[in-house]
Structure 1
Amino acid sequence: MNRLNTLPTYPRHPGATDEELRRTAADILAANWANDHTVPSRTLYPHQWSWDAAFISIGLAHVAPDRAWHDLRSLFTAQWPDGRVPHIVFDPGVAECDYFPGPAYWGRPTTGIVQPPAHAIAAWEIYRRRPDEAALRELRWLYPRLVAQQDYLTDYRDVGGAGLSSIVHPWESGLDNSPSWDATLAAVPVPVDPLAGYRRRDNQVGAVDHRPTDLDYARYITIASAYRDGGYRDAELAARHPFLVECPAFNALRGAAELALAEIAAVVGADPAGHRDRAAAITRALTDRLYNPDTGMFHARDVRTGRSSPARCVNGLVPLILPDLPAAQVAGVVAAAESARFGLAEGLAVPSYDRTAADFDPLRYWRGPVWINVNWLLWRGLRTHGRVERAATLRTAMLDLIRSAGCYEYFDPGTGEGIGAAAFSWTAALALDLLAEG
């Protein structure tokens, strides 16, 4: 149901000063440091998450660059031999009962799925902040591993054969319960009781009406079990796997990562040309395959059926981060973001889903709330394409939310209330980056 019938009412310039927010954000990142990595949250997410680590390290670059590099090194130490970087690296000091599905479910010390490849972007951001010899050593260690990550997504995950990587689970997108996946998930056969013998931990520490539903979770476990029981093999995906989707945000980050790798390659003595060529090919494939000129947005595509999701979700705006996105697509995405569906023209942070949709939900995870990480990506995209005033407005909107409510996991797009986990690491980290760019 659409519970946002009027313009949002959250205050525009409230709360903490820049210095107070900077101290609070740095304190949160320090408190969430767990031996060799930063956890997203001490309550809900007690392990290391992949794309969280990328965003967190970008913020740490401003206050603790050694920890920024360590976060990436910790994550990539868990990289699989085939190049995949797991979406969770489990902390052996955390009890199995404190997070589901944990290592016993996956049968190994990491999950077998991935998340958006934002890590090369993070590595380049850390290095350019402080390009000293220590940072150069870290880049040299990371570069071949970042290349292997990209090779895995290129060589093993192009199930559709058009140059885009397919995700094999909604969790791989980072936008777990986005309406982008609804049509594909509806076709996933769910056993009578797929959660039998399991107990969701997220609903014990977070509000039930903020989290994915039990039916969502039943499908998540069905899909994850199919991939696990198939030995995490990608060669047989087209023949047997129930969820294969080309996500515009995932692939846009893959393209942006190639451009970051081109910058890194030039510094470490490798050839950047191949990375630039790959980025251009990804941008072309995204434009040809996922862009809808009628909506001015990119839409997720079900590889098995060939159908595009009709849902207008924030992942359809993220390709704006690509600098070689054609002018027509740039104009379309900016117009969509500025429309009443997303509210950028009103000086608002962008919600995760079309606020005019009948099933928009301002509280339930990726079905309406505002998330800082995707808004941060849009902010970068706007600046990349010369929309400087719009970028400045979006920066202000993000910081106003955080000043007023605190460093929450996500925010009610109507009231500005912080929801989800408090003291959330990537919100704190990206606040530091936004403050540094003032």
Structure 2
Amino acid sequence: MTALLDAAPVADTTAARPLRAAALRVLFTNWTGTGTVPSRSLYPHQWSWDSAFIAIGLRHLSPRRAQRELESLMSAQWADGRVPHIVFNPCVPAGQYFPGSDFWRSATAGAAAGAPAAPLTSGIIQPPVHALAAALVHEADPAESARRGFLARLHPRLEAWHRYLAERRDLGGHGLAAVVHPWEPGLDNSPAWDTALHRVVPAEACSFRRADLDHSAAADRPTDLDYARYVRLARDYRDAGYDDTKTEFAFAVEDPGFNALLIAAEHALAGIAEQTGADPGPARARAAALTRALSTRLWNPDLGMFSARDLHDDTLVPVRGVTGLLPLIVPGLPADQVNALLEATSGEHFRLGEVHLVPSYDLTGPEFDPNRYWRGPSWFNTAWMLHRGLRAVGADGAADRLRQGILRDAAATGFAEYLDPHTGAGRGVRDFSWTASLALDLLATGPKEER
């Protein structure tokens, strides 16, 4: 790990100014006028959890623009409460991204579920980071937020979003939200989904054309077989009218990372409710119930960390992925689980502080691939979330080292989408919005000793 240990640190003084300026350039370039695309090439539309992370960084640049980022996304919310994972820009040529709006057919296939006539969207979801982002954006400029009625307008939408997850997505009946497509937890081709995906009959290869390979190396992306299974799952959901009660889900999983983010968002939503004069009780009750369910149903004592649960056979998936570390962000997690997670982060499987950021999958696992999307590479958003979790449980030394690594690697890779955890080489596209935005956030908040 010479490359990591010998790399020059990014100082929190004038030396950080070029990094801040470069991050601002990325966000200005990727701004469309109403929202921010993750990448002008590979991802030319607005993505759900991307916009939440982007708003978290934008609040240090322009709290009002950060508010608009979230407002733009939430304006595409469906009547049933779901926040779709993509909001399509009608100005982007149809063939530039697949699956595009003509595949999802939200306005027609999703009409019974309350999809808006415009804008057109996808029909699946992504992790619910939005209430946390809204709370942080409000804190950046409470006076401007109050003047614009930002929280008052977003609160009912966020409440409906969380109710959708609690009432429509508790497919296992044990109080946790389930995901029904590998794109929903955000870790698309993680080895954690392999067993469940193997049950999915892939779509015919001639029925779609991958646009992602026009912009990124095939070795960095999911395989054609995985993609064919993604298409089949999305098509089946669409053809069932995006109805969570009628769809026969070939893929249904309770993911610890998704639910940990939902718990953090419920706590943030309770605070938003108090700020707006609404009742914080429902959000607090959901947070408490989710925490109990997470700590009992998804804790894997054999691995010493959290695991996804496959609802097909109601078993824990025996895979060590970064999603199993993210519950560190959950307030009130049992102390023995917190201690075990801290041990897991620094152990042989993730080697926090010895490799670049946090690998997305077990470094010793047979499926580990340092280049291929979520099968090993380190991502900046999961590192930021783990940094937040480490800070929350008082592991400040580890949090500060991770923060420094995020800033260093963001600068060294030109704000890469993700990177090789061993070499630090950037993978995927460059000038990636959430990498730039979360670097801005860490530059603005500083290490513990500067607070």
TM-score, normalization by structure 2: 0.93
Paired position in structure 1 for 2:206: 196
1:66: Cα distance to partner? Answer: 1.6
1:361: Cα distance to partner? Answer: 0.5
What is the alpha-carbon distance in structure 1 between the residues aligned to residue 137 and residue 205 of structure 2? 41
What is the alpha-carbon distance in structure 1 between the residues aligned to residue 348 and residue 399 of structure 2? 17
Paired position in structure 1 for 2:271: 263
- The DSSP-based 3-state class of the residue aligned with 1:357 is coil
Q: 2:263·2:287 contact (CA, 8 Å) conserved in 1? A: yes
RMSD of Structure 2 on Structure 1 (CA): 1.4
1:111: Cα distance to partner? Answer: 0.4
Letter in 2 for 1:155: E
What is the alpha-carbon distance in structure 2 between the residues aligned to residue 119 and residue 169 of structure 1? 20
Q: 1:8 to 1:165 in 2, by over 3 A?
A: farther
For residues 393-413 of structure 1, the C-alpha deviation after alignment (integer angstroms, 9 at most, x for no partner) is 111111111122221110111
1:14: Cα distance to partner? Answer: 5.2
- How many residues matched? 428
What is the alpha-carbon distance in structure 1 between the residues aligned to residue 7 and residue 255 of structure 2? 32
- The DSSP-based 3-state class of the residue aligned with 1:408 is coil
Ranges in structure 1 where 5+ consecutive residues have no aligned partner:
1-6
Paired position in structure 2 for 1:124: 135
Q: 1:37·1:48 contact (CA, 8 Å) conserved in 2? A: yes
- The DSSP-based 3-state class of the residue aligned with 2:54 is helix
Paired position in structure 2 for 1:343: 351
Q: 1:347·1:394 contact (CA, 8 Å) conserved in 2? A: no
Q: 1:169·1:223 contact (CA, 8 Å) conserved in 2? A: yes
> Aligned match of 1:322 in 296, 314, 330?
330
Mean Cα deviation higher: 84-93 or 194-203 = 194-203
Letter in 2 for 1:13: A
Q: 2:74·2:83 contact (CA, 8 Å) conserved in 1? A: yes
Letter in 1 for 2:221: R
Q: Report 1 or 2 for greater relative contact order, CA contacts < 8 Å, sequence distance ≥ 6.
A: 1
1:274: Cα distance to partner? Answer: 2.4
Paired position in structure 2 for 1:91: 89
What is the alpha-carbon distance in structure 2 between the residues aligned to residue 399 and residue 78 of structure 1? 33
What is the alpha-carbon distance in structure 2 between the residues aligned to residue 19 and residue 424 of structure 1? 19
Paired position in structure 2 for 1:3: none
Paired position in structure 1 for 2:441: 433
For residues 25-84 of structure 1, the C-alpha deviation after alignment (integer angstroms, 9 at most, x for no partner) is 011101100121100000000000000000000000000222111111111100000000
Letter in 2 for 1:434: L
Q: 1:434 to 1:133 in 2, by over 3 A?
A: closer
What is the alpha-carbon distance in structure 2 between the residues aligned to residue 309 and residue 417 of structure 1? 30
1:353: Cα distance to partner? Answer: 0.5
Q: 2:10·2:16 contact (CA, 8 Å) conserved in 1? A: no
Q: 1:274 to 1:202 in 2, by over 3 A?
A: same
> Aligned match of 1:107 in 101, 105, 111?
105
For residues 400-435 of structure 1, the C-alpha deviation after alignment (integer angstroms, 9 at most, x for no partner) is 111222211101111111111110000000000111
1:15-94 mapped onto 2 (5 Å cutoff): 17-94=15-92
What is the alpha-carbon distance in structure 1 between the residues aligned to residue 224 and residue 24 of structure 2? 35
Letter in 1 for 2:215: V
Q: 1:135 to 1:99 in 2, by over 3 A?
A: farther
- The DSSP-based 3-state class of the residue aligned with 1:117 is coil
Q: 2:52·2:70 contact (CA, 8 Å) conserved in 1? A: yes
What is the alpha-carbon distance in structure 2 between the residues aligned to residue 362 and residue 152 of structure 1? 36
Q: 1:113·1:172 contact (CA, 8 Å) conserved in 2? A: yes
1:332: Cα distance to partner? Answer: 1.1
**Is residue 205 of structure 1 aligned with residue 215 of structure 2?**
yes
Q: 1:14·1:404 contact (CA, 8 Å) conserved in 2? A: no
1:14-413 mapped onto 2 (5 Å cutoff): 17-108=15-106, 109-135=120-146, 137-191=149-203, 194-237=204-247, 240-346=248-354, 348-413=356-421
What is the alpha-carbon distance in structure 2 between the residues aligned to residue 433 and residue 105 of structure 1? 35
What is the alpha-carbon distance in structure 1 between the residues aligned to residue 434 and residue 353 of structure 2? 25
**Is residue 9 of structure 1 aligned with residue 17 of structure 2?**
no
- The DSSP-based 3-state class of the residue aligned with 1:332 is helix
**Is residue 422 of structure 1 aligned with residue 430 of structure 2?**
yes
What is the alpha-carbon distance in structure 2 between the residues aligned to residue 345 and residue 413 of structure 1? 11
- The DSSP-based 3-state class of the residue aligned with 1:173 is coil
Q: 2:30·2:36 contact (CA, 8 Å) conserved in 1? A: yes
For residues 269-309 of structure 1, the C-alpha deviation after alignment (integer angstroms, 9 at most, x for no partner) is 11223212211111110111111122111111111211221
What is the alpha-carbon distance in structure 1 between the residues aligned to residue 97 and residue 394 of structure 2? 43
What is the alpha-carbon distance in structure 1 between the residues aligned to residue 360 and residue 33 of structure 2? 33
Give every structure 1 segment of 4 or more consecutive aligned residues whose post-TM-superposition deviation is greater than 4 Å: none
What is the alpha-carbon distance in structure 2 between the residues aligned to residue 104 and residue 347 of structure 1? 42
Give aligned-pair identity as a percent.
Answer: 53
